[in-house]
Chains A and B, each alone.
Chain A
Amino acid sequence: MTEAVPSYLSPTGQEIVFLLLGAVAVGSALLVVTTRQLVHAALWLVVCFGALAGGYLVLTAEFVAWVQVLIYVGAVVVLMLFGIMLTRAPIGPSEDLDSGNRLVAAVVAVATAALLVTVVIDGFRTAYTPLRPGKGAAKELGASVFATWVLPFEALSVLLLAALIGAIVLSRTDIPGGAPAQQTSGPSSGPPDATPFPGNPETIQPPAKPGTVQPPAQPEGTSPSDRTTGSTPPEQTGGH
């Protein structure tokens, strides 16, 4: 890395490809944060992550590139789409996706970009390395993970397990709370989707007088289905 630095004016093919992929990534990232349609933001995120995976490939980090494709494009974006779907986001363009402090955010972002780009260009102007394939193959990386980085790897797997269990506990609605001061009609309402929305106007009144009889619980379960917004969440909350 201390060799003579080639000129910036004659970029190699790798650099041209990387710059094109970087332009795609930054452009689609800009579309992610500026588009007015929620689903399109998730799809532009796919484009951005795919371009970044291509960038990793150019940088000879093959294993990281495929892990990026598998986890980010395959899992994270699908999870985001599920989240968009389950929070009942509007399909078409929605006007209120941006908050009111958009100008301030743009100023902060431009200032961050200017600062980072200036520092990076000033600090690493002479950094150059030739790219040799094979350094980031799965074999080398796997040997490194299971030789040197075994302890963080195991700790990370436990963390992932804990996060998974936490996500399941958070998103399930039929787990008994087990807390003090439970609602008295909790067990009597039986099905887990009887009182799913405390904030819902229709469900306000029935929990107020809970333990009377079962028939009041039945219109309570059906009254959210009269609303257009509250129809499916009971099935949805039980489904995942």
Chain B
Amino acid sequence: MHIVYPAVVSALLFSVGVYGVLARRNTILVLMSVELMLNAVNLNLVAFDVWLGDRLHSGQVLTLFVIVIAAAEVGLGLAIILALYRNRRTVDIDRLRDLAEPADAPRGVPSTLTAGGSQPPPSAPTDEGHDPGTPPPSQDRSLDQNQHQVLDQGHSVAVEKPVKRGGRR
């Protein structure tokens, strides 16, 4: 067996996974693409273990370890996604922008000033949604996000800081 064959197959699989991670919007599909990339790595490990003929079987043992880690990653990732869905009602990566930099939006500074500075972090992603530099969110989506942010603000005012903790009781 030429080692080039499994190596090329795994390279193609890895690229497909890269495309999926970059292009997909649903979080579960992104997780699937990560699994594709991990499988590409596994195929490489098995192929080179067979080629080198290691007496310790390091490649295949490492493949087993990667499979176990992938299983743990999927379990944790899905738990995080479910918690996210419970709190936000969406698993859309493009709409989860609360951690985005508020400074890069040109209109972010005035609006945070007009917001009174009470809730700067939630109001900044709202500007992100209206940012003309991000074409993917359409008009209704940005409106939806705006509404969502407003709701979040109202709730976080109602229940103290830990929104998630309070909602879980």
Please list the residues of chain A having a beta carbon within 8 angstroms of any beta carbon in chain B.
1, 5-6, 8, 12, 14-15, 18-19, 22, 25-26, 29-30, 32-33, 38, 41-42, 45, 48-49, 52, 55-56, 58-61, 63-64, 67-68, 71-72, 75-76, 79-80, 82-84, 86-89, 96-102, 104-106, 108-110, 112-113, 116-117, 120-121, 124-125, 127-131, 135-136, 140-141, 144-145, 148-149, 152-153, 156, 159-160, 163-164, 166-168, 170-171, 173, 175-177, 179, 181-183, 185-187, 189, 192, 194-201, 203-204, 207-208, 229, 233, 237
Contacts and interface: CB of A to CB of B under 8 A. Distances in A.
B50 interface: yes
A128 to B, nearest CB: 6
A82 B85 CA distance: 13
Interface stretch (B6-14, B99-107, B109-117, B124-132): B6-14
Contacts of A207: 155, 158-159, 166-167
A187 B11 contact: no
Contacts of B31: 80, 83
Sort A-B residue pairs by CB-CB distance and give the 3 closest, nearest first: A100-B136, A186-B169, A105-B22
A94 to B, nearest CB: 8
A128 B72 contact: no
Interface in B12-57: 12-20, 22-26, 28-29, 31-33, 35-36, 39, 42-43, 46-47, 49-53, 56-57
B6 to A, nearest CB: 7
B4 A197 contact: no
A61 B49 contact: yes
Contacts of A194: 169
A55 B159 contact: no
Interface string B133-169: 0111000000000001001101100111111111111
A204 B29 contact: no
A42 B32 CA distance: 8
A62 B33 CA distance: 25
Given A109-B15, A170-B80, A159 B72 contact: yes
A5 B155 CA distance: 69
A56 B59 CA distance: 12
B6 A18 contact: yes
B22 to A, nearest CB: 3
A67 to B, nearest CB: 6
B6 A22 contact: yes
Contact of B24 (A59, A98, A173): A98
Contacts of B164: 198
A101 B136 contact: yes
A63 B46 CA distance: 11
Interface string B56-75: 11101101110111111111
A116 B11 contact: yes
Contacts of B23: 33, 98-99, 101-102, 105-106
A26 B166 contact: no
Contacts of A58: 1
Contacts of A117: 8, 11-12
Contacts of B75: 79, 163-164, 167
Contacts of B163: 198
B94 A29 contact: no
